[in-house]
Structure 1
């Protein structure tokens, strides 16, 4: 990729991050003070528009399989990269549930806190229970929540065990759950994973070198909350594993460049 184009993308992304920081520092707090449905809808529109703009700058193409279920308020997905958050956030208003460490990421952590992300401390049962209650409250208000139940990222070649504790939120709220399988293709399959000791800024610079990012998003059939949180975790994990195993890039796809 030409060096000039990489620099232009870097400048555009820097401008978007600056705009995002300004929005979560000033505009969004003001909207929260106003309250009301219009203010909330405007707040959601800002976040979705920001994510879509970042997708366009990065030339991130979403290949959509299936469709979101409007009745499923809790979305669970395998986790590969911080790009997952941008991609899912570009498809409609939602709140994310993330590990506590995300709050400390440069730039993205500040933005995540500013848009109301719920943070969970891994290994803290009491805090996880409290977050599940917060999630249930949001679900009852009609909010759409996105959870990465693996609790960490992978290189995308496997799906780790799903932790069941936060699935309690769906049961408390009586909310349907939809599993979403994510898989990167092409150059992005090697470059997109954000794992281990990777640092955000160096990883972002690597992403900016890519001409194009292809992400396949497979929406599975939604499921009812079910009798037990662990069973719900296992069911949705099996759905994602099956979607990744049977996925064929040659099948009919809806391609979205937000």
Structure 2
């Protein structure tokens, strides 16, 4: 794996809550059938995507999430619809994509490998997904230029600047490269915070799609869950010109989305028992010991990596 690629230490075995039970199977099968039916309907209507009102797209996106048995709770400020907009959110699950589309339909940024996937790659390209080749740093300016063109045309682009999906109890930080597109296009940046809660209102990792977790296994875990809630908080937008450079803009957006909820992984240094020296870890959270890295060594690697180049930003690493 390239040293430039962002990655999360979260793994399905260490971080993800189990939800399966024999009593949940009939309900899970019904939910799975409903999700597949809605997705197929969306695929059939894909050639007419340009003619479908944004309101209908939002309703369909939320319907997919609800069909999986997940209740959607949207709070916060209204989202601008008459201008180009860079939507930025933390990344936990494949459910994040329809959740963001439920806030405002947008073109997604995804890794170039997805374009080569059977069926899904062609559908993603036809649906307007923007692709980034994370193994070629020289291609990054061209990707930023394409995103800028979309934003200048009055469209929205959705990005996960952490660069990888996290379990929801640990998190990364916002990488800055993609924020250059918002600066160049002079459009607002719309921060969105996503959380998944269980039936008791506590943070849940059941929806997390991390590490080498197969999509089917993640989907089954979601449809088997009881009382799962997706909480989408639309935070105040960052106005064009409010921040002079992409570093300060990324920092401001990251502070709104990630601040006050969790501690970044670099500051936690979890042990297998879920604790670090002097820093309490999230309740019940365990990271794979093989993924542990001493904080000082991790920071030293980052300083070396940033000499002369910038990490690719805003594209999911795990999926």
Q: TM-score range by the shorter chain?
A: 0.7 to 0.9
The residue that corresponds to 2:78 in the other structure is: 68
Matches within 5 A, 1:64-103: 64-70=74-80, 73-103=85-115
Whether 1:11 and 2:33 are equivalent positions in the alignment is: yes
The residue that corresponds to 1:167 in the other structure is: 179
User: Deviations along 1:89-144, whole A, 9 cap, x unmatched?
Assistant: 12232221123344456776554333111111224333221121111111111112
What SS is found at the alignment partner of 1:183?
strand
The residue that corresponds to 2:259 in the other structure is: 242
What SS is found at the alignment partner of 1:98?
strand
More displaced, 107-116 or 235-244? 107-116
Contact 1:183–1:244 (CA under 8 A) maintained in structure 2: no
Shift of residue 151, structure 1, vs aligned partner: 1.0
Q: Which sections of structure 2, spanning at least 5 residues, go unmatched? A: 1-22, 263-319
Contact 1:220–1:243 (CA under 8 A) maintained in structure 2: no
Whether 1:193 and 2:208 are equivalent positions in the alignment is: yes
Contact 1:51–1:89 (CA under 8 A) maintained in structure 2: yes
Cα 1:66/1:50, change in 2 over 3 Å: closer
Cα 1:145/1:67, change in 2 over 3 Å: same
The residue that corresponds to 1:120 in the other structure is: 132
Matched residues in 1 for 2:218 and 2:198: separation?
17
Matches within 5 A, 1:140-219: 140-186=152-198, 189-219=204-234
Q: How many residue pairs are counted as aligned between the two chains?
A: 234
The residue that corresponds to 1:256 in the other structure is: none
Shift of residue 189, structure 1, vs aligned partner: 1.4
Shift of residue 173, structure 1, vs aligned partner: 0.5
Contact 1:76–1:179 (CA under 8 A) maintained in structure 2: yes
Q: Which has the higher helix share?
A: 1
More displaced, 168-177 or 208-217? 208-217
Contact 2:115–2:125 (CA under 8 A) maintained in structure 1: yes
Q: Scaled by the length of structure 1, what TM-score is found?
A: 0.80
Contact 1:128–1:166 (CA under 8 A) maintained in structure 2: no
Structure of larger gyration radius? 2
Q: Which sections of structure 1, spanning at least 5 residues, go unmatched? A: 32-38, 246-258
Contact 1:218–1:243 (CA under 8 A) maintained in structure 2: no
The residue that corresponds to 2:19 in the other structure is: none
The residue that corresponds to 1:233 in the other structure is: 250
More displaced, 150-159 or 79-88? 150-159
Matched residues in 2 for 1:186 and 1:10: separation?
19
The residue that corresponds to 1:132 in the other structure is: 144
More displaced, 46-55 or 160-169? 46-55
Give the aligned CA root-mean-square deviation in angstroms. 2.5
